[in-house]
Amino acid sequence: MARVRPGEAANPAPPTVQRVRVRFAKRGRLRFLSHRDVARSFERAVRRAAVPVAHSHGFSPHPRLSWIGAAPTGSASEAEYVEIGLTRPVDPADLAAALDAALPAGLDVLDAVVAEGKGLADRIDASRWRVELPGVRSADLAAALDALLATDSLVVERVTPSGRRNIDVRAALVRAEVGGAGPGDAPVDTVPPDGHPGAGPTCAIMTAVVRQTTPAVRPDDVLGALDVVAGLRPPAPAKATRMAQGLLDHRGALADPLGSDRVTTRG
């Protein structure tokens, strides 16, 4: 083969002609995937599905996948987003079906639209989380949430690989309440009913809307804050699921970040 000469692109890659935004879920056991694990799974899935993904140029070409605020390792999600650069226009529904078939069960494609207008990052400033707290009674959770919401600022410490960071949970918390999913949420695992002593497992459900800050406030941080303000300490690990991401409206609801693309695409 001809050797690469200076000034030549090492790997002349076709340009990006279309971008598709994909909403996907991270479910069940695969909630233990880290963001890097998710990214690798997608890189392989686009190849298996023969999605005409664009690549960066150079000696180490990488598929053009752009990620938005990944749910932490251990958290499930019904609302993760990735934007895929393509070298050929495709029907987003075909792409969604092919990609879903190529991903391991538990990484499930929910929606795909052709990207238009503003970037995804500009359409997301908050997340709604649903957290199952096995062994916690709803009344105790309600009292703890009241205490937390009554504060102006509640800082918790998180240990990260790069050191300790202080995070103001209260400042990022838009809403928090006892109770299940709101309208429009995808169904999640069946939850044991709130029990009485001796009448089966107790499991309170918390719904929290959290503004996206840096560093991001995670469900674990909210639980840490409930421990600080009210001594609430679930006896078993909580299970968190991100139900939605989007722009906060004045009522504290989240607008679908793919909504305006869909209107444009289908209009």
From the CB of 41, what's the least distance to other proteins, in Å?
7
Report the distance separating Cα 152 and Cα 251, nearest Å. 19
**Contact with other proteins (CB under 8 A): which of 8, 104, 200, 233?**
104
Please give the DSSP secondary-structure letter assigned to residue 223: H
User: What is residue 170's DSSP assignment?
Assistant: H
Q: Are 52 and 6 in contact (CB under 8 A)?
A: no
51 counts as binding other proteins under rule CB under 8 A: yes
Which residues are CB-contacts of 190 (< 8 A; sequence separation ≥ 6)? none
Note whether 1 binds other proteins by CB under 8 A: yes
Measure the N-to-C terminal CA separation of the chain; round to a whole number of Å: 48
At 250, list the tokens. Answer: 């004045």
Nearer to other proteins, 88 or 165 (CB): 88
Q: Which of 35, 27, 23 is nearest to 84 (CA)?
A: 23
**208 scored as a contact of other proteins (CB under 8 A):** no
For residues 71 to 90, the per-residue mask of contacts with other proteins, x marking binding by CB under 8 A and - elsewhere, is --xx-------------xxx
Q: Any contact of residue 193 with other proteins (CB under 8 A)?
A: no
What mask, x for binding other proteins by CB under 8 A, covers residues 120 to 149? ------------------------------
The CB-of-65 to other proteins minimum distance in angstroms stands at 13
Cβ-count burial 109-127 (b if 16+ within 10 Å, e if not):
bebbbbbeeeebeebbbbb
29-37, 141-149, 188-196, 197-205 -> range binding other proteins (CB under 8 A): 29-37
The DSSP-derived string for 21-60 is: EEEEEE-GGGGG--HHHHHHHHHHHHHHTT--B-B--SSS
Q: Is 168 in the site for other proteins (CB under 8 A)?
A: no
Q: Segment 222-261, which members bind other proteins (CB under 8 A)?
A: 236-237
Q: Which of 19, 23, 24, 45 binds other proteins (CB under 8 A)?
A: 45
If one asks whether residue 180 binds other proteins (CB under 8 A), the answer comes out as no
| 165 contributes a contact to other proteins by CB under 8 A | no
Task: Identify residue 200 by its one-letter amino acid code.
Answer: G
Token reading at 28: 């069940």
Where on the chain is the footprint of other proteins (CB under 8 A)?
A: 1, 3-4, 11, 29-30, 32-34, 36-37, 40-41, 43-52, 55, 59-61, 63, 73-74, 88-91, 94-95, 98-99, 102, 104-106, 236-237
